[in-house]
Structure 1
Amino acid sequence: MILVGPLAAGKSTLGALVAERLGRPFVDIDDIAWSYCAEVGWTLDRLLERDEAVGWAAAEREWEPARAHAVARTVADHPEAVIALGAGYTSFTTPDHAEQVRQALAPVPDVIHLVPSPDPARSVAVLRERAIASRGKDWIIDGHDWIARWVADPLAAEIAAATVFTDGISPDQSAEQLVQLRECLLAELAA
């Protein structure tokens, strides 16, 4: 299972719970991506240098090839894992990089998009509250509202087999819902 969605959607929390229930390893791309990014010449120091030189939005665009590469490598190297893909790993301005991620995830039948609510404004409000509580940051950087951008970006929903809404549901309830959804998706595939 691969979990996608905006920042603070619960991908890591729910991914760990689902992995435990399924007896599978859990992989958070945020924990391993830099080794893959280095394969194509990107390090955290380089990203921070580019952020300082050109601003966060431009640095994020420049870093897109490395993020797409990291997704492809993570999926290939961890086929039995439950994987959490951070928001930036399914948000691209360059169609070629988005297509690379689509291709990497295409064979995975249980890619699930997590958002708090079907209402984008509600999702942004919930995610901003969670981000401030957990990371002390509202994710409005240089005039760009990254949480709103990630909620509005269509790629995560396009590549997912299903979307799960988590607002008002406990992590344990959401994890159980994901396990049941996975069983349904795999049963449909087998039919």
Structure 2
Amino acid sequence: MCAWMVLIGPAATGKSTLGEAVAAATGRRFVDVDALGAAYYAEVGWSMDRLRERIRAVGRVAAEREWEPARAHAVERVVAEHPDAVIAFGAGHGQYTRPDLRERVREALRPVEHVVLVVPSPDPDQSVRVLRERSIATKGTDWITGDGHDFLHEWVHDAGTRELATTVLHTEGESPAESAGRLLDEVIRIRPSPCPGTPPG
């Protein structure tokens, strides 16, 4: 069965809320990688406790780099196991510094009909500003580490993430329902499915 939709993008873009709305509108299941990831990370010897331990030992940036193979494994597994779902990736699951991991994720996403990069604005700097405000308001973090590394800036400006996407959806000024409706109307319903026998959403 051909995979259907994956939502990727930085933290605080509303991927999960958007994904739930799209899934409800199309009668598909919604899958959140953040909710399922622990089981997949464990298959390759990782856990959130280990990540926290590595952050304390080597710092957030180095620990995130060490964690990349586990994230890539989780992507491969969740896409393979949920072929007709709407899947939301947690921040970082679409972004890799290692070329071999980026290629693994690209291969995992190749059968997916719609890989949607969700960001607020066509202007990357405006996207960072919007996401920073949201992150502070909802999560209590600005995503800037103690040594000054800015994860939001990294995620928003990452060219590799954009290369994975078949569609970029800008959502600033819209409600999740409005963004979901526009995604369905402008992107999905007008684009023929590349998978034989698969109806459009």
The TM-score with structure 1 as length reference comes to: 0.96
Match of 2:171 among 166, 170, 181: 166
Report the 3-state secondary structure (helix = DSSP H, G, I; strand = E; otherwise coil) of the residue aligned with 1:41.
coil
- Root mean square deviation, CA, Å: 1.3
Alpha-carbon separation, structure 2, partners of 1:46 and 1:162: 34
Please tell me the residue identity of whatever aligns with 1:138: D
Report the 3-state secondary structure (helix = DSSP H, G, I; strand = E; otherwise coil) of the residue aligned with 2:7.
strand
User: What residue in structure 2 maps to residue 134 of structure 1?
Assistant: 138
User: What residue in structure 1 maps to residue 181 of structure 2?
Assistant: 176
Instruction: Say yes or no: does 1:60 pair with 2:64.
Output: yes
Please tell me the residue identity of whatever aligns with 2:58: V
Alpha-carbon separation, structure 1, partners of 2:150 and 2:131: 12
Instruction: Say yes or no: does 1:19 pair with 2:17.
Output: no
Alpha-carbon separation, structure 2, partners of 1:190 and 1:134: 38
Report the 3-state secondary structure (helix = DSSP H, G, I; strand = E; otherwise coil) of the residue aligned with 1:117.
coil
User: What residue in structure 2 maps to residue 117 of structure 1?
Assistant: 121
Gaps of 5+ in 2: 197-201
Report the 3-state secondary structure (helix = DSSP H, G, I; strand = E; otherwise coil) of the residue aligned with 1:133.
helix
Please tell me the residue identity of whatever aligns with 1:59: A
Alpha-carbon separation, structure 1, partners of 2:79 and 2:92: 16
Structure (1/2) with the larger helix percentage? 1
Q: Sequence identity of aligned pairs in percent?
A: 55
Instruction: Say yes or no: does 1:30 pair with 2:42.
Output: no
Report the 3-state secondary structure (helix = DSSP H, G, I; strand = E; otherwise coil) of the residue aligned with 1:46.
helix
User: What residue in structure 2 maps to residue 70 of structure 1?
Assistant: 74
Instruction: Say yes or no: does 1:144 pair with 2:149.
Output: yes
Instruction: Say yes or no: does 1:7 pair with 2:11.
Output: yes
Alpha-carbon separation, structure 1, partners of 2:35 and 2:193: 32
Equivalences, count: 190
Q: Which runs of 4+ in 1 moved over 3 A?
A: none
The TM-score with structure 2 as length reference comes to: 0.91
Note if contact 2:113-2:193 (Cα within 8 Å) is conserved in structure 1: no
* 1:149-188 C-alpha deviation (Å, 9 max, x unpaired): 1001112211111101000111111000122212233x16
Alpha-carbon separation, structure 2, partners of 1:6 and 1:108: 20
Note if contact 2:7-2:19 (Cα within 8 Å) is conserved in structure 1: yes
Gaps of 5+ in 1: none
